[in-house]
Copies of this chain bind each other. A is one copy, B any other.
Amino acid sequence: MRPKVVILGAGFGGLTAARALDSIADVTLVDRHNFQTFLPLLYQVSTAGLAADHVAYPIRGALRKTKVKFRMGSPISVDHKNKSVKLDSSEVLDFDYLIVALGSATNDFGIKGVAEHSLGMKSVGEALNIRSEIMRRFEDLCRFEDDTKFSIAVVGGGPTGVEMAGAIAELKRGPLNSDNTQAAKNISVYLIEAGSRLLPSLSEKLSARTKKDLEKLGVTVLTQAAVAEVKPRQILFSDGRSIPAEVTIWAAGVKGEPAMKALALPQDGVRIAVDKSLQVSNYPYVFAIGDIAGATGKDGKYLPMVAPVAMQQARFVAKQIARLVKNEPLKEFSYIDKGSMATIGRHKAVVEVKGLRLTGTIAWYAWLWLHLFYLLGGRNKIGTMADWTWNYLTFDRGNRHIMDIS
């Protein structure tokens, strides 16, 4: 008998799980959007390098060759007695197995002013808002025609923060500087990291290289700078320092999607507690995968909130459900770390794969091809390649349009 599986969230984890389960289960996939967002490239939407539509892919399009059902909506509650989940559309979906893959949201760590005065970057809407905010401030500077300064601060020295800071610096140095105005010269870009170095998941050597590359692009990198408060035009640090920041972009951390509270599953406020089998503790018919799942690695620490973890877990959980159907014993998940990478700017990137370290042009090309490869859909691959080629050849960024998504 084919079990009924409901999957909450159509990100890298949810969509991979849906496709993997299609042959053995009646799957219903739920997401609040009708498209999947390619989060690793959102920063390029923010910095005018990519069209917003290129980092989104219609979920129904991705499911064409399957029998998977799709429902647009958000889960409101889980009825564990009747094994069903209620959506905000009032629809009730019955399941034999539930997979929670709701992803993550910006984590402000309770720091004052982050929610009010900084911009997150977890959705196409947020990415476009960052673009609009930067371009609007730039238009203000152009109007002033004086030496008014304008600072953009990116908080968080992980891959997201590094890539965002580098791309903003390139936007400033290139396209904005080519406009017939002096305004670009008055823009400062900061990258702020609470720890002692950028990209802490990579080797110290690559961290140092990343800092050097960013500084070459004109980014002021501050390490050991713990944010105490974000104000409308200023960031205060816990050691008493401060910097001006008309625009603060918060890339300092993420936590499990807030919707998980509605599901009333065991969690620590940041992730849902799971066993080694990826079953939610005490709820053997519920699995959690990806950013929202509190799975730990061999070191006992949470696995990183990255796409490869979610996709490996998705395929693993599909097999676990197949085992449950066949009454076979479950296995324990272990993550195969394929390495980490970040792009900094034109011909500048860092890659670390199983001890192999790449920097500069070769790392940059590796980053480009890997992201193109994982981008969903031929149309997005072609469109992104066209935008990238254009940006590369013209040193321009064409997608500067101020469009505010509600």
Contact = CB atoms under 8 A, between A and B. Distances in A.
A337 interface: no
Interface of chain A: mostly helix, strand, loop or mixed? mixed
A178 interface: yes
Interface residues of A, number: 56
Interface stretch (A53-61, A99-107, A216-224, A343-351): A53-61
A115 interface: no
Nearest to A129: B406
Interface in A347-382: 377-380, 382
A3 interface: no
Contacts of A71: 139, 142-143
B125 A403 contact: yes
A52 interface: yes
A15 B227 CA distance: 45
A91 interface: yes
Most buried by B among A33, A89, A125, A402: A402
A67 to B, nearest CB: 6
Interface in A1-49: 33-35
B33 A401 contact: yes
Give the number of copies in the complex. 2
Nearest to A393: B378
Contacts of A136: 34, 72
Interface string A286-323: 00000000000000000000000000000000000000
A51 B135 contact: no
Nearest to A72: B139
Contact of A180 (B64, B139, B175, B401): B64
Contacts of A382: 386, 390
Contact of A34 (B63, B91, B401): B401
A33 B401 CA distance: 8
A404 interface: yes
A396 interface: yes
Contacts of A139: 34, 71-72
A158 interface: no
A259 B143 CA distance: 21
B398 A58 contact: yes
A380 B387 CA distance: 9
A271 interface: no
Contacts of A56: 401, 403
Nearest to A380: B398
A387 B54 CA distance: 11
A208 to B, nearest CB: 36
Nearest to A87: B143
A61 B378 CA distance: 29
A380 B60 CA distance: 27
Contacts of A135: 34
A211 interface: no
Contacts of A143: 71-73, 89, 91
A390 B379 contact: yes
Contact of A387 (B64, B383, B402, B405): B383
A399 interface: yes
Report the 7 A-B pairs with minimum CB-CB distance, sorted nearest first: A51-B53, A406-B406, A379-B398, A35-B401, A58-B400, A72-B139, A56-B401
5 contacts: A34-B401, A35-B400, A60-B400, A124-B401, A378-B390
Interface of A: 33-35, 51-54, 56-58, 60-61, 63-64, 66-73, 89, 91, 124-125, 135-136, 139, 142-143, 175, 178-181, 377-380, 382-383, 386-387, 390, 394, 396, 398-406
